[in-house]
Amino acid sequence: MGSVIEVEHLHKSYGGTVAVDDVSFTVGQGEIFGILGRNGAGKTTTVECLVGLRRPDRGTVRVLGRDPQRDHAEVTRRVGVQLQDSQLPERLRVGEAMRLYQSFYPEPADSRELLAQLGLAGRERTPYGKLSGGQKQRLSIALALVGRPRIAVLDELTTGLDPHARRDTWDLIAGIRAGGVTIVLVTHFMPEAERLCDRIALIDAGRVLVTGSPGELIARAGQPTLEDAFVSLTGRNA
Ligand SMILES: Nc1ncnc2c1ncn2[C@@H]1O[C@H](COP(=O)(O)OP(=O)(O)OP(=O)(O)O)[C@@H](O)[C@H]1O
């Protein structure tokens, strides 16, 4: 299985704050790869460097063999991104947002089908500002997938979703991966990581503490669940 993402010794500071100190990992074609860590660990900065939204200070990032900075247009066309707290204009209708995003890609997915898969059927005419928090979240997932990406980067995939919507979204993500799409998932929700991820990089203070399957992390920490393993491995007093 070839790797589609290669990150080597990534470093990124904001002024005096080191957000990412030294992060390396690779993601294989068709994997669901989790990035886990405490608040402020450097997860979002790492994925922003992956998708070309931030320029690393040091280190290399390769996505589908490309440099996300130098080959920005190509990486953007093949990588779908759902970032934390993304906002759309309040009055933009769901259908308009979908059409706008479809226009960025050569072979976009069918909007109605995707909206139906995300439980947003019949919402085409609803303005963004009138959607519930969970509906906004699901629209952001639809927009990340509308370009039929080779890689989807999803930051806080199911935050704010009720348990039904969360399970539907997990099924959707599993189905998308079954279609050959590689998924990078940033999450704080351990049952989600345990259920979905093939491998996980656990990041702490801008460094990778450990990489492995959920089972390997649990075994390594000698804990019963991934949540216990997470707390144990990232606990400052452990
Ligand atoms: N634009 C910015 N300017 C200055 N500092 C920043 C900026 N973005 C992030 N940071 C800092 O960099 C560090 C890493 O932040 P980052 O958002 O990458 O972490 P995270 O792991 O995604 O956190 P969370 O789980 O809370 O979303 C934090 O100390 C944060 O305060």
pLDDT digits (tens, 9 = 90+) for 183-232: 999 998 999 999 999 999 999 999 999 999 999 999 999 999 999 999 99
Atom 25 of ligand 1 has which residue's CA nearest to it?
Answer: 39
- Going from N- to C-terminal start, the domains of the chain cover 3-86+150-234
Report CA(234)–ligand 1 centroid distance (Å).
17
Q: Is residue 166 within 8 Å of residue 174, measured between CB atoms? A: no
Does residue 43 have its Cβ closer than 6 Å to ligand 1? Answer: yes
Residue 236 confidence (pLDDT): 64
> Strand pairing of 17-28 and 32-37?
unpaired
Q: What are phi and psi of 162, to 5 degrees?
A: -75, 165
pLDDT value at 161 more than 90? no
For domain 3-86+150-234, which CATH number applies: 3.40.50.300, 3.30.9.10, 3.60.150.10, 1.10.600.10? 3.40.50.300
Residue 34 Cβ inside 6 Å of ligand 1? The answer reads no
Residue nearest to atom 1 of ligand 1 (CA): 14
Query: What mean pLDDT is predicted for residues 122-134?
Result: 93
Residue type at 83?
L
Q: Can you give the pTM of this predicted structure?
A: 0.92
Retrieve residue 166's tokens. Answer: 């969360």
